[in-house]
Chains A and B, each alone.
Chain A
Amino acid sequence: GENVEQHPSTLSVQEGDSAVIKCTYSDSASNYFPWYKQELGKRPQLIIDIRSNVGEKKDQRIAVTLNKTAKHFSLHITETQPEDSAVYFCAASIVNGNQFYFGTGTSLTVIP
């Protein structure tokens, strides 16, 4: 089955700096990679996703890159703000499939 690894587990950055979270996956059949943000005590929310037919996707300050050959994908947050502080989860899935495999999460703290 699929195995998703996520690093780092914790990350602290100064406000305004960039944050990068990396995930690797093992199953080459995975072709859909969503990222979720979970604020303390709240539900995970989808913030961005990427499919394997593209290498990069950007939405304002958030971007995701995908390297299919190396089987890794990354979340990039630029100009971080305190409200970006949360736990971020990556996941891997297959288009038309209903199995999601989550990474272990990264606790991001943005220091004002």
Chain B
Amino acid sequence: GAVVSQHPSRVICKSGTSVKIECRSLDFQATTMFWYRQFPKQSLMLMATSNEGSKATYEQGVEKDKFLINHASLTLSTLTVTSAHPEDSSFYICSAAAPGLAGVYEQYFGPGTRLTVT
């Protein structure tokens, strides 16, 4: 099956610094990548949708200048949390999607990144 990797799996940073999270589709080309944020025992909150080579589409309430998304290739997307604050501490999950059988977009999730801002 399709594999999506995410790096790092855990990161602790100080308030005010920036953190970059990478999402890679290892064995397929992802036309679209999604970035989610998940709080404990809560659902996946879509932050942004990114298509290769174009600007990401951010969901309402998500600050695009704070959460910078770059999708430079069909296998790599990055999320940079700039000037991180403790309230940015969360579990960030990416997913990669590509057309599967009969045009259905199949979505595969990365393992997630636990960000802790101190």
Contact = CB atoms under 8 A, between A and B. Distances in A.
B105 A98 contact: yes
Contacts of B104: 32, 49, 51, 95-96
Interface stretch (B13-21, B41-49, B72-80): B41-49
Contact of A97 (B41, B105, B106, B108): B105
The prevalent SS among residues of B at the interface is strand
Which interface class (under 10, 10 to 19, 20 to 34, 35 or more) fits B?
A: 20 to 34
A98 B31 CA distance: 9
Interface residues of A, number: 25
A103 B97 CA distance: 18
Interface of B: 4, 31-32, 34, 41-44, 46, 49, 51, 93, 97, 99, 102-112
Interface of A: 32, 34, 36, 41-46, 49, 51, 87, 89, 93, 95-100, 102-105, 107
